[in-house]
Amino acid sequence: MGNDDEGNTPSAGKMTGGQVAREIRRVVTGVNPEGKSIVLSDGSPPRSITLELVGGSRMTDLWHLGSQPQSPADGGDLDRNANLVPPTGGIHWRVNIMPPDSAAPADVNPSELMAELNEKLPDWLDHFDLSRPGMHRTDTIDFGIVLSGEIWLELDEGEVHLQAGDCVVQRGTMHAWRNRSDRPCVMSFVLIEAGRKGAA
């Protein structure tokens, strides 16, 4: 597990424009040996990454299922940074804090950016159209909700302005998230792996 110096904990941090991201609290329930429902854990999720070279975008992993669950007790935390896309039959649940587009450094070294992405999200670049910055597509069905702030969902044709409370069902299409506001946008996503028929 990471530490504050590595930027791998989900502790609150200062964002662009003086905005402060609230620390994420996660409560996990379970069953004790007597069959009674209990709280197994209550606190910060252990895995989080911050992409410094894209303005401080932060992704906190809340829960993972590596395959189709066979029991409500299945799933948990990973001992490493998760890929962008869950494994076959798997599910990722995460919270993303997306800073304003204006927070991204204007003089980023492309090689350094690629190195950061490969280190923190190993499969990230496999899903991006490098000719159109930010545009990407994953073989997943994504359920997203805007928790705070606002964001623009850009598609091949057109875009949608989303605000707190708005929900998105993203069905494996090419898209990008653009934060044209002056404060961070917080979104929660559940990504369900849905490999395309006939895909290798």
Beta bridge partners of 94: 61, 189
Ranked by mean pLDDT, the top range of 44-58, 77-91, 155-169 is 155-169
SS3 for 112?
helix
- Report residue 22's pLDDT band, with 50, 70 and 90 as the boundaries: low
Instruction: Please give the model's pTM, rounded to 2 decimal places.
Output: 0.81
Average pLDDT value for residue range 67-93: 86
* pLDDT score, position 197: 55
C-alpha dist (Å) from residue 41 to 116, 134, 189:
31, 35, 21
Q: What pLDDT digit, counting tens, does each position of 108-150 carry?
A: 888 888 888 888 887 877 888 878 888 999 999 999 999 999 9
Dihedral angle computed from the Cα positions of residues 191, 133, 9 and 97, in that order, rounded to the nearest 10 degrees: -70
C-alpha dist (Å) from residue 58 to 41, 105, 146, 173, 200:
23, 15, 15, 22, 31
Q: Assess whether pLDDT exceeds 50 at residue 52.
A: yes
Average pLDDT value for residue range 47-71: 90
- Report residue 13's pLDDT band, with 50, 70 and 90 as the boundaries: very low
Higher pLDDT, residue 20 or 78: 78
Q: Which domains does the chain have, with CATH numbers?
A: 47-193 (2.60.120.10)
